[in-house]
Structure 1
Amino acid sequence: MADTKREIERKYEGPAASEAAVPPDLSGVPGVADVIDKGITRLDATYYDTADQRLAADSLTLRRRTGGDDAGWHLKLPVADGVRDEIHAPLSETVPDRLTALARSRIRDAELVALVRLATSRHVHELVDGEGSPLAEVSLDRVRAERLHGGADTAEWTEIEIELADGQDPAFLDKAGKHLRKAGLHRSASPSKLAKALAETGSRTKPRKHEHAEPVTAGDHVLAYLRAQRHAVIELDPAVRLDAPDSVHRMRVATRRMRSTFRSFGNVLDRAVTTPVAVELKWLAGELGVDRDHEVLTERFTEALDALPRPLLSGPVRNRLRAWSTARGGDSRRRLLAVLDSKRYLDLLAALDRLLAEPPLREAAAAKPHKVLAAAVRKDFEKVAALVEHALDLPSGGDRDVAMHEARKKAKRTRYAAEAATPALGKPAKALTKAVKSLQNLLGEHQDSVMARESLRELADQAHAAGESTFTFGVLYGREEQRAAVAEAGLPGTWKKVGKRAAL
C-alpha cells in the first residue's frame, strides 16, 4: 500500500547556513512555546528518473531513501510553490509498481535509471506551541550529492528546511521566514534537493521547447492554449489514479477543450492532421465519462430526496436509488486505470507531443492574432445564435429539448474558443467567455433535467416491477419538469445578455 501526505515546506540557504552548527533559533517566532532538539539523523536517498529527466522537468521526484522514520520509496508531486503531495511506499529493491503508474504520464515507455544519490546529515528541532502540539520542524541539512547517470560529479551544500506540521496554518511559515531572513538566510532558488543537485553537478533541467515563449501570431496563441490543456491531462493523470475529487471531470474537460480548439481554429491548424488526434481524444473523454453522468444524477437525486418533506417520501426510495447506482457502477474504476495504463492512451500522449512540437500550421497561423482569432470566435458564435433562435421558436417538448442540447454543445465550443483568444483579444473575449458560460450553464441545467426525467422513469419502472410505491419518483419527476421550465423561461433573457457581449 502507498500513503499520501501533503508536504508544505520552505528551503533557505546562505553563508549563515554553511557556518551554523545547529538550526537557527526560532524560539522567538510568535506561537512557539518550546524548541525540542530531535537529534541528528543520517539519510541516504537515491533519486530515479528517465535518462532525459522527464520527471525533473515537471518538478516530480522519485526516490528510495533509508534512514529516518519514513524510510521507503517516495514520489513527490508538485501542488504549488513549496507544497507537494508525497506518496510513500514501503522499502523494496525495485520501484513499486504503483509509484511507477502514478508517474506513467511522464515516464511513458522510458526506463528509469538511478540519477543522483544524496547523503544528508540532518539535525532537526521541533517547534511546539503552548500545549505541546507540533507547529513545524526546522532542520539543518548538510548534503553531499553524487551524480550516478550522465556524469560523475559531486557537490556539497548546507541548507535550512522548515516543514509545517500536519494541520497547521501555512501563515506560520511566513512568521518563521522573517526570523530566518534576519539570521542571514534567503529562500533557496531550487525547488528541491534534487533540482539543486542536478544544477550543482552540471546538468540543469531544460524547459520544454516553446513552453515559455510569448505568443505573437495567431498560431502561437492557439498552440499555447493547446499546450495548457495537454499539460492538464498529464498533470491530472496521477490525481485520477489516486481518485482525487473532481480529477476525472477536469481531465475530461481538458480533452474536450483540445478537440474543440481543433474544430474552431481549423484555419490555423490543418484538420487533416488534427482530426485523428481528435478521434483519440474523444475516445479518452468517453472512457473518462463512463458512469460519470450516472454519478452526477445519483448526487442530484440524493439532494432532491433530502429536500423533500417526509410526507412525500413513500416506499424504500433510497434503497431503490442505491441499488440503481450500484448496478451501474460495476468495475468502472478498474477499467479506467486499465485505460491509463494502455498503449492507446500512451500513444495519444505521444501524438499530442508530436503535434505540439511540429504543429501543422496553415497560412493564417502566421497572421496577427486579432483578425484570425476573432473571426473564428464569431463563426462559432453565429452557430450558437442560429441554434438558440431555433430553440426559442419551438414549443416545449422533445424537439425543443434536442435544439437546446445542440445549442449547449455549440455554446461550449464558443466558450473554449473565446478562452483561447482571450490573451490576444483581451476584455471583449473575456466578457464573451463569461457570458457564454452563463448560457452554457442554463442550457446544461435544462439538459440535466431531461436526463434526470429519463432516469426517474427507469427508477419508477423498477420500483413498480418490485411492487414498491412509485409516488416519490413521480414527485421528483414533476419537480424536474419545473426546473426545465425555469431554464426555458430564462433562456430569452440570458440570450439577450450574451448578445450584448458578442462584438469582438
Structure 2
Amino acid sequence: MADSKREVERKYEATPETRLPDLTRVAGVSAVAHHGLSELDAVYYDTEDFRLAAAGLTLRRRTGGDDAGWHLKIPVSPGVRDEIRAPLSDTLPPGLGELFRSRVRHTPVAPVVRILSARDVHHLLGEDGTLLAELSIDEVLAERLTEKGHGITSAWTEMEVELADDGDPVFLDAVERRLRKAGVRPSDAPSKLARALADTAPGKRPKIRKTAAPRTAGDHVLAYVRRQVTALVELDPAVRRDLPDSVHRMRVATRRLRSAFRTYRTILDRTVTDPLRDELKWLAAELGVDRDQEVLDARLRDRTAAVPGPLLLGPVRARLKLTSVAGRTGSRRRVTSVLDTERYLALLDALDAFLADPPLLAAAARPPRKALPRAVLKDYERLATRVGHALEQPPGADRDVAMHEARKAAKRVRYAAEAARLALGKPAKKFAQRMKSVQSVLGDHQDSVVARDALRTLAVQAHGAGESAFTWGLLYGREEAAAAARERELPETWARASRPGLRAALKG
C-alpha cells in the first residue's frame, strides 16, 4: 500500500572537500548529530520521450537506506514535492502507476538512469532533541541506461537539506544563510535525475514546451485552453489521492474548456471543438457526483452546527454523518473508476491533438481587442435574458429552474472574461468579478434547492426509523428562507454587475 510524505528540501553544490560550517549558530539548532553513512542504489524510470521528467515528476526504484522501495515524486511548488512510496518489488506497483497515467497514457515506462549515492547524513537537532532537518552530503555516480545496456556516466557531489515533518520552511532560510556564508551555493539542478539527464543524455533531454507571448485573438484563446488542459492533467493524481478541493478544481478546468470552446466559436472551428465539448460535459458530470456530495455535506454540517442544542432532537449528527460517508464512498469510487477508462484517456489524447494542430478560423488572426470583447458580450446578453426570465417567474419550481439556468450562463460569461483577461486587462478582470458576484447569488440559491431535497429525504428516513423529524423540518425551513433571501438579493446584484459603463470599458 502506498503512503505519502511531503518533502521540503533544498539542494546545494558541493565537492568532496566541502566541510560543514558550524550549524549550531543557526537559530534553534542546539546540536548537529552525525547519523552515519549509507549506500543508495536507485533506478529511475520514464518514457522514451521523457514525459515524466518534462512534467517535473520522478519515478524510481531504490534500495539501501531506511526507505527502500518505489518512490514517485510529484511537484507541489519550487522546492516542495509529495513523495508517494510503495514497498520494494520487482515490478511497478499498480497503485503507483495510476498516479502518472494522465502523463504517459498507454506509453510504457522503462529504466533511463541509474544513480548510486554514497550518503553522509547529519541531523540538525533542537534543544529538546527534536529533529529540525536532515542534511546529507552525497557522492553521486549517474549512468545513462540504454537499450544496449550501459551508457554515459557522470559524477558529482551535492548537498541536500530536507526539512523535518511539519517543520517551518523559514528554518531552511536560516540554514541557507549560514551555508552561503561558508561559500556553499544553491544547485542549478532541481533534482539528481534532472542533472543526470543533462550530463548523461545531452541529445535526449526532456522537451519543455515554450510558447511565444500571445499576440492575436487566437493566441490568447489557445493560451487559455492550454492552461486548462495542463490543469486537467496535473490534477489527475490529486483526485486519485483524494486531496482537498482537487475534484472541484478539475471540474472547473473542464467547465472552463467547454466555455472557451462555446464562447469563441468564431475563433475555433466548432466541428472540432463540439465533440470535445461533449466529452468534457461527460467528464464534468462524472466529477460532479463527488463534488456535489462534498458541497452538500459541508452545507448540511454548517447548518446543523448553527442549530441550538435543545432543538437537535434525535440522532441528527449521527444520521448526517452516516449519510455523508455512504454518499462520498460511492462517489469517490465512481470518480476513480472514470479516470481509469479508455474514454477519459482518449479525451486527454484528443485535447493534446487539438493543441498540437489547433483548428483556427479566420477571426483568430484578428487583434484580440476587437475579437474577444464581442464574444464575451454575446455571452453577457444571453445571461441578461436568463436573469430577466428568472426574475419574471413566481416563487416556486419554475423560478428555481430559471435561476439555475441563469447561474450556468453567469459562469460562462465569467470564464469568457477570464480567458480574455490577459488581452483586455483590468476591464476584463473587473467584468469577471462582477459576473462572479451574480454567479455566487445564483449558486447559493441552487445549493439551497439541492439541500432542501436532501433534507426532505433525511426527514423521511428519520421518520421511518422512529426518530423525530423535527430538526430536519427546521433545517428545511431555514433553507427556504435562505433561498428567498437570495431571490430578493438578485435584482440589486444584477443591477450593480450590469452597469453600462463597464461593458463600454470592455469594448475599449
2:11 maps to 11
Name the SS of the counterpart of 2:294 in structure 1: helix
Distance 1:327 1:181 in 2: 54
Q: CA deviation at 1:216?
A: 1.1
Alpha carbons 2:53, 2:206 under 8 Å: kept:
no
Alpha carbons 1:47, 1:61 under 8 Å: kept:
yes
What do residues 190-235 of structure 1 show as CA deviations (whole Å, max 9, x unaligned)? 11110011011114634444x4321111111111111111111111
Q: Pairwise mapping of residues 145-160 of structure 1 onto structure 2 (< 5 A)?
A: 145-149=142-146, 152-160=151-159
Distance 1:435 1:481, change over 3 A: same
Distance 1:329 1:188, change over 3 A: closer
Question: Which has the larger displacement, 268-277 or 383-392?
Answer: 383-392
Distance 1:149 1:78 in 2: 26
AA aligned to 2:307 is L
1:426 maps to 425
Name the SS of the counterpart of 1:483 in structure 2: helix
What do residues 307-334 of structure 1 show as CA deviations (whole Å, max 9, x unaligned)? 1122322333334434544554563333
Name the SS of the counterpart of 1:152 in structure 2: strand
1:2 maps to 2
Distance 1:42 1:114 in 2: 20
AA aligned to 1:7 is E
Name the SS of the counterpart of 1:463 in structure 2: helix
Distance 1:107 1:325, change over 3 A: same
2:304 maps to 305
Distance 1:146 1:191, change over 3 A: same
2:224 maps to 225
AA aligned to 2:503 is A
Distance 1:153 1:327, change over 3 A: closer
Distance 1:106 1:73 in 2: 18
1:481 maps to 480
TM-score with structure 1 setting the length:
0.95
1:183 maps to 182
Work out the number of aligned pairs and report it: 500
Distance 2:167 2:297 in 1: 35
Distance 1:238 1:50, change over 3 A: same
Distance 1:67 1:203 in 2: 31
Question: Which has the larger displacement, 493-502 or 290-299?
Answer: 290-299
Alpha carbons 1:2, 1:88 under 8 Å: kept:
yes
Determine whether 1:82 maps to 2:79: yes
AA aligned to 1:39 is G
1:93 maps to 90
Determine whether 1:137 maps to 2:134: yes
Query: 49, 68, 72: which one pairs with 2:69?
Result: 72
Q: CA deviation at 1:66?
A: 1.0
Alpha carbons 1:391, 1:403 under 8 Å: kept:
yes
Q: CA deviation at 1:396?
A: 2.3
Alpha carbons 1:23, 1:140 under 8 Å: kept:
no
What do residues 77-125 of structure 1 show as CA deviations (whole Å, max 9, x unaligned)? 0000000000111111111111111111111101111000011111111
2:23 maps to 26
Distance 1:20 1:396 in 2: 79
Distance 2:67 2:470 in 1: 57
Q: CA deviation at 1:376?
A: 0.8
AA aligned to 1:251 is M
Distance 2:438 2:480 in 1: 19
Distance 1:475 1:434, change over 3 A: same
AA aligned to 1:135 is L
1:395 maps to 394
Distance 1:48 1:140, change over 3 A: same
Alpha carbons 2:2, 2:86 under 8 Å: kept:
yes
Distance 1:178 1:326, change over 3 A: closer
2:292 maps to 293
Alpha carbons 1:381, 1:502 under 8 Å: kept:
no
2:452 maps to 453
Distance 1:230 1:378 in 2: 25
Question: Which has the larger displacement, 60-69 or 445-454?
Answer: 445-454
1:379 maps to 378
1:444 maps to 443
Distance 2:27 2:212 in 1: 43
1:257 maps to 256
Question: Unpaired segments of 5 or more residues in structure 2?
Answer: none
AA aligned to 2:47 is T
Distance 1:55 1:497 in 2: 47
Distance 2:450 2:183 in 1: 63
What do residues 380-420 of structure 1 show as CA deviations (whole Å, max 9, x unaligned)? 11111121122223332222222211111000001111111
Distance 1:203 1:130, change over 3 A: farther
1:117 maps to 114
Name the SS of the counterpart of 1:496 in structure 2: helix
AA aligned to 2:156 is W
Name the SS of the counterpart of 1:32 in structure 2: coil
Alpha carbons 1:113, 1:149 under 8 Å: kept:
no
Distance 1:171 1:291 in 2: 36
1:462 maps to 461
CA RMSD of aligned residues (A): 1.7
1:336 maps to 335
Q: CA deviation at 1:239?
A: 0.7
Alpha carbons 2:290, 2:335 under 8 Å: kept:
no
Distance 1:291 1:67 in 2: 41
Determine whether 1:39 maps to 2:39: no
2:415 maps to 416
Question: Which has the larger displacement, 403-412 or 287-296?
Answer: 287-296
Q: CA deviation at 1:298?
A: 2.7
TM-score with structure 2 setting the length:
0.95
AA aligned to 2:399 is R
